[in-house]
Amino acid sequence: MIEDLIREGQLIKTRPDLKKAEKSIILAENKIEKAKVELGVEIYDNAVVSAYTAMFHTARALLFKDGFKERNHYVVCEYLRERYRNTVEMKYINELNVLRTTRHKIIYGDDETNIKEIQRAEAESAIKTAEGFLVFIRKLIKQ
């Protein structure tokens, strides 16, 4: 799968870059803080998008560490699913993908999705998952 993504130009091999990985972790931390602020003012859809963005940047840190750059959000999920399936808990990889599709629906619209339907509990869960994923990946990168 990873070789297919490289061949298709969706995943680009680069030099491993721990500085970029750390910058991505910092972006993730900032997005989690933003999500908490949005949760606090009851902007639940934005809080979910910010939590997803935190997870995306957290996952992207692994790509930078491994020497890859992605061309779209889907590739990040697939890379983790293949490369880290025995290292990263599947709940994080699955939730990253679920939030990816939720983010897409919120940002680009979806006839079946009503943004007002996103509830506090969903935003809280997304933030909690993003925090757990960040803690786990931060440790993994430092190994």
Asked whether residue 115 carries a pLDDT value surpassing 70, the answer given is no
Q: Return the structure tokens found at 24.
A: 């991505």
The pLDDT value recorded for residue 109 is 78
Domain that holds residue 7: 2-142
Mean pLDDT in the chain?
A: 93
Decide which of 106 and 131 is more confident: 131
Closest by alpha carbon to 9, among 70, 79, 86?
A: 70
17: phi then psi, degrees, rounded to nearest 5: -140, 95
Q: Structural domain tally of the chain?
A: 1
Q: What is the rounded distance in angstroms from the CA atom of residue 132 to the CA atom of residue 119?
A: 20
Q: Return the structure tokens found at 53.
A: 């963005």
Segment 65-109, tens digit of pLDDT? 999 999 999 999 999 999 999 999 999 999 999 999 999 888 887
The pLDDT value recorded for residue 111 is 58
Q: Residue 15 in 3-state DSSP?
A: coil
Asked whether residue 114 carries a pLDDT value surpassing 70, the answer given is no
The pLDDT value recorded for residue 121 is 92
Which CATH number characterizes residue 86's domain?
1.20.120.330
